[in-house]
């Protein structure tokens, strides 16, 4: 077990996969033609994720935004991923980094199929813009792993376009 100290106190976070599950990491790196400061501000604005949700899905933050210890939940049909913001480093501390650790019991589709455990973002200056890397770790039922991976590739393939569109819009459209 690892420990996490935040708004909720010291939290024991289980490490390893339960019987029948495997650890899965989906990682994607992409380029957007916007300055790292602007990209990072968009990624760390709760409105990006709260206001852009399609009903019946919702994202909530308790007493803050993307600061260490702030509680967060993303929920809707077949989805309940609750966690706490971990380490956050701004663009001046290359690379910029944000960590969201999900609590035990979080799930996507069903707790019997996929249990997200962590979502991380990195952003650093690239030639003419910003290189963004995201990584979603999850515990996935072994027979479901290939389907989960395909689902992540499809879901996250839209994220660079959402980001670019929002950053081109002076109103800062949400993801």
pLDDT tens readout for residues 144-172: 999 999 999 999 999 999 999 999 986 65
Strand 79-89 relative to strand 96-102, pairing: antiparallel
Tell which residue, 87, 120, 119, 82, has the closest CA to residue 104: 82
Secondary structure of 75-91 in HEC code, one letter for each residue? EECCEEEEEEEEEEECC
Q: pTM to 2 decimals?
A: 0.88
pLDDT tens readout for residues 78-111: 999 999 999 999 998 889 999 999 999 999 999 9
Q: DSSP for 121-164?
A: EEEEEETTEEEEEEEEEEEEEGGGHHHHHHHHHHHHHTHHHHHH
**pLDDT of 10:** 58
pLDDT of 6 strictly over 70: no
Q: Topology of domain 2-8+23-168, per CATH?
A: Alpha-D-Glucose-1,6-Bisphosphate; Chain A, domain 4 (3.30.530)
């Amino acid at each position: 077990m690892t420990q996490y100290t935040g708004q909720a106190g010291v939290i024991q976070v289980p490490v390893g996969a339960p019987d029948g599950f495997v650890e899965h990491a989906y990682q994607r790196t992409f380029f957007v033609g916007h300055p790292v400061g602007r990209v990072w501000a968009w990624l760390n604005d709760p409105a990006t994720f709260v206001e852009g949700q399609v009903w019946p899905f919702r994202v909530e933050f308790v007493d803050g935004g993307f600061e260490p210890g702030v509680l967060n939940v993303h929920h809707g049909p077949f989805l309940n991923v609750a966690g706490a913001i971990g380490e956050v480093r701004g663009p001046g501390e290359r690379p910029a980094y944000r960590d969201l650790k999900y609590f035990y019991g979080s799930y996507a589709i069903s707790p019997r199929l996929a249990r997200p455990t962590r979502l991380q973002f990195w952003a650093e200056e690239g030639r003419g813009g910003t290189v963004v890397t995201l990584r979603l770790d999850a515990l996935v039922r072994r027979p479901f792993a290939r389907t989960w991976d395909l689902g992540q590739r499809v879901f996250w393939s839209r994220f660079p376009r959402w980001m670019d569109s929002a950053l081109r819009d002076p109103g800062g459209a949400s993801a």
